[in-house]
Structure 1
Amino acid sequence: MDCHIKSLYLCVKNMERAIRFYENFFGKEVTIKNEIYSVFDINGFRFGLFAFEKMNENHSFGNNCLPSINVADLETLKNKIKDLELCFPLTQINTNWVVEFIDSEGNHIELTALV
């Protein structure tokens, strides 16, 4: 099978709050802004925010699906997490630094950098 993963979305309860959080986190403005589905273009990867309640869908939050975002180096990683709520502490695992934080909507997100 030849497949490519080009996008993911996170469920959000408050679209405006989630957009502000990720605009600050990514340091860029949202690419497509909509009250139900908004998208950030992260180097060709579509990072979506889905207001599931507006579509009357039920979802649970937590760590059952963990988006992982890689940054250039440990200093960038440390700067990104300094004001965030962590759910997995900054830890060296093999050749990576790994940390998990909780976003404004309760989603767990992994951030990594090479050692």
Structure 2
Amino acid sequence: MASGIAAVWVPVSDMERAVRFYRDSLGFKVTKQESDWSEVDANGLKIGLNAREDASAHASRGAVITFQPDGGDLETEIDRLKANGIEITGQVSDHDWGRIMPFKDSEGNDLQLYTPPTD
């Protein structure tokens, strides 16, 4: 039985660009940085940036990393991402279980912002 998530690995084709994205655009701390592997602390969840020769094949398939914005204000975080030139790939969608908004990281990986439902 699994006891939790140890890390999420994200394929990247440009390590420097990926590190800048997760550090500068999302505001996470980079705890390790090498040419083929870097680690980001996303509020206790380790995101491993894994250099691959053909990282572009992963986009729009497989796992999606979902982030919860500070303070839970989705619109403010969307505005901040747009101001930083982040590719927004859809609109905010409202569901019984919360609201999500898709975007991409610097390497074309699918990401989302998520806020839980309000009462």
TM-score of the aligned structures, taking structure 2 as reference length = 0.79
* 1:86 corresponds to 2:85: no
**What's the % identity of the aligned pairs?**
29
Letter aligned with residue 73 of structure 1:
G
Of 92-101 and 78-87, deviating more is 78-87
Unaligned ranges ≥5, structure 1:
none
Partners of 2:13 and 2:56 within 8 A in 1: no
Partners of 1:86 and 1:101 within 8 A in 2: yes
Deviation at 1:44, TM superposition (A): 2.1
Deviation at 1:3, TM superposition (A): 2.5
Letter aligned with residue 7 of structure 1:
A
Partners of 1:77 and 1:112 within 8 A in 2: no
After the TM superposition, which parts of structure 1 deviate over 4 Å for at least 4 consecutive aligned residues?
Answer: none
Aligned equivalent of 1:38: 38
TM-score of the aligned structures, taking structure 1 as reference length = 0.82
- Of 43, 62, 70 in structure 1, the residue corresponding to residue 59 of structure 2 is 62
